[in-house]
Amino acid sequence: MRNIELEMNQAILDNRDWRKANTEVVYNPHSGNSHVYLYGNEIAIVGDNFVKIFDGGYQSKTTKSRLNAICTRHCIQGEGIYQKAGEWFITVINQEGDKAHRVPFVNGFIFADPLR
């Protein structure tokens, strides 16, 4: 994981605003959610028990890297985004944590963990 992604995740954990280069975290104290932006386009909303993802209009390597960094820290282990034959897919782990399934990428997809 890149340093910028480590700092981004720390800002999300600390519930604080943060910005570096092309990446920004804006914490909303009313909702308790952190909004993550890449080049000014929203790519994620991170709450206490969910992560909602978007491609921000660009399915780029950088967008995928930021989303996977968020998933690594804020989702169930093994969840994330990958690309195959130019298409994005989402890996989701079942509630027992023992089986993954893959679905086509959809803007607004929500990783939710009822145990968080």
The domain total for the chain is 1
pLDDT value for 100: 85
Q: Rounded to two decimals, what is the model's pTM?
A: 0.93
Domain assignment present for residue 56? The answer is yes
Domain that holds residue 71: 3-78+106-112
pLDDT value for 17: 98
pLDDT, one tens digit per residue, over 1-45 is 899 999 999 999 999 999 999 999 999 999 999 999 999 999 999
Q: Backbone dihedral region of 97: left (phi > 0), alpha (psi from -120 to 50 degrees) or beta?
A: left
pLDDT, one tens digit per residue, over 39-94 is 999 999 999 999 999 999 999 999 999 999 999 999 988 999 999 999 999 999 97
pLDDT value for 15: 98
Domain assignment present for residue 10? The answer is yes
Domain assignment present for residue 20? The answer is yes
Domain assignment present for residue 7? The answer is yes
